[in-house]
Amino acid sequence: MAGQVTRARFGQVGAFFAGVSVTLLVGASDPYAGLDLFARVLSDVDAHYQTELPLLDVVHAALEGVPAVLDEHSDYFPPEEWTRIRQAEAGLEVGIGVTVAADPCGLRVAAVEPWSPAERAGVGVGDCLAGVDAVGLTGPASTTVRFTLVRGESRVEKVVLRGRATPPAVEVEPLGGGVWYARVRHFGDDVDVPLAAGIPSRPTAKGLVLDLRDNPGGRVEEAGELVDRFVRTGVIVSTQVRGEPDAVVQATAAASDWSFPLVVLVNGETASAAEIVAGSLQDMKRARLLGTHTWGKGSVLRYFQYEDGSVLKLTVGSYRLPSGRGVPAHLGLQPDVVVEAGAASFGPRTPMSTRLRDDPQLAAGLAALQSTISQPER
């Protein structure tokens, strides 16, 4: 019982220690005075609190109060919480991405999740999975599940790795008339190479609608490479981190650079590295932004892990776009053309014709490109 220290029970202790931490973070005439006070309070809790407590639990409770004096992106995770986060991200218990119902043949497939292991293995709605039960479909990630795929008279033995559905970072589709559409979901994986592979070079390609809506960001390096695909010279983005020289990403001229017209779609969920792409292209007069204002996250984050397994996520700097401006928190980037989103929602397999009909932002982006393409070159 003594080892179970809840956040609520030590809320006031955490808040107090967070206040003490202000001295450490912002500096004082004696920067170590706060450490001395912290030690004295900790000693009094240890000696005089009504029940004996593990002091490390009290320390963690205090540290959980530190983010209260930092920005919204900084946080502190005690060892147990960080372990839970990592386990959730790893997906310790996953399936193969199917919805099934019991059937005399085994398990009848009612739905297949797009980009799931089952879809990659060729499993379709109406197929039957024999030789496995519903419980057996679920297990640790990257382990195998074996079954017989029954489709009519056909029976095929399958071995599928359990895992999450993983949509590709980039999807490319033609819109007609030499205009292409590319949706970039995130910058956690390679973006520039699959985008270049999906779009032919000019004169076949005459324009591109680059969709960064709902893109939460990812690696700044990937964002820089994508911008570099569209520009030949200039600063793409600079990183300002306290105590370090600025890191600058410069554009490089290449024969493979694209010069055709470009429109970028953004919304309130366009964030971080995606805002770097949108803002850089906007600043360099390379593209117009269309949609609604972006999320507003231009901060540089780092993770500090300690010996006991706890982790501090800390904002250490900010990004600067080519014009020198940052990305205002919560305000984000303002589009050149404001177009509100429609009411319709789309699944991953929604035909492009339906999206063009029911997605006003996409339709406006295509119209803007067509208008630019129709104008004679000067």
Mean pLDDT of 32-59: 89
Q: Which residues contact residue 68 at a Cβ distance below 8 angstroms, ignoring those fewer than 6 apart?
A: 15, 18
DSSP SS3 for 357: helix
Residue 88 lies in a domain: no
Q: Which residues contact 257 (CB under 8 A, 6 or more apart)?
A: 228, 229, 230, 231, 232
The answer as to whether 78 is a domain residue is: no
Q: Are residues 259 and 339 in the same domain?
A: yes
Q: Are 13 and 61 in contact (CB under 8 A)?
A: yes
pTM over 0.85: no
Are residue 139 and residue 278 in the same domain, yes or no? no
Q: Same domain, yes or no, for 197 and 229?
A: yes
Residues 34-46 have a mean pLDDT of: 89
Q: Is 306 helix (H, G, I), strand (E, B) or coil?
A: coil
Three-state DSSP class for 24?
Answer: helix
CATH at residue 151: 2.30.42.10
Specify whether the CB–CB gap between 309 and 79 falls below 8 A: yes
Q: What is the CATH number of the domain that holds 342?
A: 3.90.226.10
Same domain, 193 and 49: no
The whole-number pLDDT of residue 126 equals: 97
Element (H, E) at 109: strand 106-112
Q: Tell me how far apart the alpha carbons of residues 147 and 163 are, in angstroms, rounded to a whole number.
A: 16
**29 plus 130 within the same structural domain:** no
Measured distance CA(298)–CA(295) in Å, rounded: 9
Give me the percent of the chain exceeding a pLDDT of 70: 90
The structural domain count of the chain equals 3
Of 69, 86, 116, which residue sits at a domain end?
Answer: 69
Residue 137 has pLDDT above 80, yes or no: yes
Assess whether pLDDT exceeds 60 at residue 376. no
> Is residue 140, in this structure, part of any structural domain at all?
yes
Does 299 share its domain with 206? yes
CA distances from 209 to 123, 129, 180, 306, 334 (A): 33, 41, 6, 44, 18
Q: Are residues 156 and 47 in the same domain?
A: no
- pLDDT tens-digit readout, 302-325: 999 999 999 999 999 999 999 999
Q: Are 322 and 238 in contact (CB under 8 A)?
A: no
Distance CA 146, CA 162 (A): 10
- Give pLDDT, residue 353: 94
Domain interval for residue 119: 98-161
Contact 175, 366 (CB under 8 A): yes
Same domain, 368 and 244: yes
* Residue after which a domain boundary falls, among 51, 69, 87: 69
The three-class DSSP label of residue 209 is strand
Residues 188 and 314 in one domain: yes
Last residue of a domain, one of 161, 183, 198: 161
- Note the pLDDT tens digit of each residue in 93-118: 789 999 999 999 999 999 999 999 99
Residue 232 covered by a domain: yes
User: Using one digit for the tens of pLDDT, what is the confidence trace for 11-20?
Assistant: 333 333 333 4
